[in-house]
């Protein structure tokens, strides 16, 4: 019988604290966490990698521009957002003080609550991008705010998680019921290229195994695939994310290397081949340069 350590592929990175942070609002050891935006403001960000958690955000004050995939929304009224772990999103606040709530919950939380899982699968709020952004009219705002307040106050209470998962279902049902979807604008050309780059990067990484090594590893290779000049691709990524193409590739590869070392029993030679290194010494040099540890030491320390 094969165990998870025998599999040739890693479809989803686990939540290891040692991994390079891939999202500013990362969860700690909890499966779910709720934030008040007046206290924990939703900072401007561009999420560049897949996450291991879902996010529901309700903005009640603080205007801004929200981008989901290739669609851009100008937010100037109460709005709900249902964000899947694989979604590439950005948020730029423009005016006003922030208010509202947001919650993050891991996939394990869904698996532990089958009824919630069924609701998520049945309602298209996370899966259909045309239904992931919902405007809330003034007459319905009070009931949504009260629901969020109840969820926020349940944190730390006995059976609080059970209550919260029921509130999430109610939130989704009420959201689907009002079903007022704002019309998005298309993003500019820069965002289209950025979205495609991260899609290609995830496609490459998610297909890694030691019989099918990564094929795109350099800025030139990604740019050629996208029919762009590498300098242009570097410039727009640096402008929108603060990092160039190579930084994103290296950071994402490093996360995957750590996951392979921790989640599989593959040899170092197999891992180095899978992530595109011509030989193991080059892989060892890359890993130690960015972590301070050799791959063997990293694996040994984690398994002690």
Domain ranges of the chain: 31-186, 189-303
The pLDDT score that the predictor gives to residue 31 is 81
- Its CATH architecture, for the domain 189-303, is Orthogonal Bundle (1.10)
The pLDDT score that the predictor gives to residue 103 is 92
297/253 Cα distance (integer angstroms): 18
The pLDDT score that the predictor gives to residue 288 is 94
The CA-based dihedral angle spanning residues 102, 107, 112, 116, taken in that order and rounded to the nearest 10 degrees: 60
Rounded to two decimals, the pTM is: 0.59
The pLDDT score that the predictor gives to residue 269 is 92
The pLDDT score that the predictor gives to residue 15 is 42
Q: Give the residue among 57, 39, 37 at the shortest CA–CA distance from 47.
A: 57
CA 296 to the chain's CA centroid: 28
The segments of the chain whose pLDDT lies below 70 read 1-29, 41-52, 70, 183-188, 303-304
The pLDDT score that the predictor gives to residue 185 is 65
* pLDDT tens per residue across span 206-261: 777 778 788 888 899 999 999 999 999 999 888 877 788 898 888 888 888 888 88
As a whole number, the mean pLDDT across the chain is 81
The pLDDT score that the predictor gives to residue 287 is 94
- Contacts for 25-32: CB closer than 8 Å, 24+ residues apart: 25/55, 25/102, 25/104, 27/53, 27/104, 27/106, 31/105, 31/106, 31/108, 31/109, 31/112, 31/161, 32/103, 32/104, 32/105, 32/106, 32/109, 32/161, 32/164
The pLDDT score that the predictor gives to residue 18 is 44
- Its CATH architecture, for the domain 31-186, is Sandwich (2.60)
Sign of torsion, CA 205 207 210 216? Answer: negative
The pLDDT score that the predictor gives to residue 28 is 55
Helix (H) or strand (E) holding 71: strand 71-75
């Amino acid at each position: 019988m094969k165990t998870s350590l025998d599999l040739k592929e890693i479809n989803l990175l686990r939540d290891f604290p040692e991994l390079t942070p891939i999202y500013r609002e990362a969860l700690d050891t909890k499966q779910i966490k709720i934030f008040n935006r007046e206290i924990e403001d939703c900072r401007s960000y561009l999420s560049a990698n897949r996450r291991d958690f879902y996010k529901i955000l309700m903005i009640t004050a603080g205007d801004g521009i929200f981008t989901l995939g290739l669609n851009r929304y100008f937010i100037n009224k109460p709005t709900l957002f249902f964000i899947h772990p694989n979604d590439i999103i950005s948020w730029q606040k423009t005016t006003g003080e922030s208010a509202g709530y947001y919650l993050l919950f891991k996939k394990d939380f869904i698996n532990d609550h089958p009824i919630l899982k069924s609701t998520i699968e049945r309602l298209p709020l996370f899966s259909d991008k045309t239904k992931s952004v919902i405007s809330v009219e003034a007459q319905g705002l009070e009931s949504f705010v009260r629901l969020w307040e109840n969820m926020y106050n349940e944190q730390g209470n006995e059976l609080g998680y059970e209550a919260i998962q029921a509130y999430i279902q109610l939130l989704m049902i009420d959201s689907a019921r009002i079903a007022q979807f704002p019309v998005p604008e298309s993003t500019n050309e820069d965002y289209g290229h950025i979205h495609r780059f991260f899609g290609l990067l995830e496609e490459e990484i998610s297909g890694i195994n030691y019989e099918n090594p990564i094929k795109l590893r350099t800025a030139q290779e990604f740019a050629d695939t996208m029919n762009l000049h590498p300098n242009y691709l570097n410039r727009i990524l640096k402008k929108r994310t603060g990092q160039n193409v190579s930084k994103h590739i290296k950071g994402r590869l490093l996360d995957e290397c750590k996951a392979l070392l921790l989640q599989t029993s593959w040899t170092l030679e197999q891992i180095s081949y899978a992530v595109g290194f011509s030989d193991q010494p080059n892989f060892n040099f890359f890993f130690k340069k960015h972590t301070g540890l050799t791959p063997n030491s990293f694996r040994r320390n984690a398994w002690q």
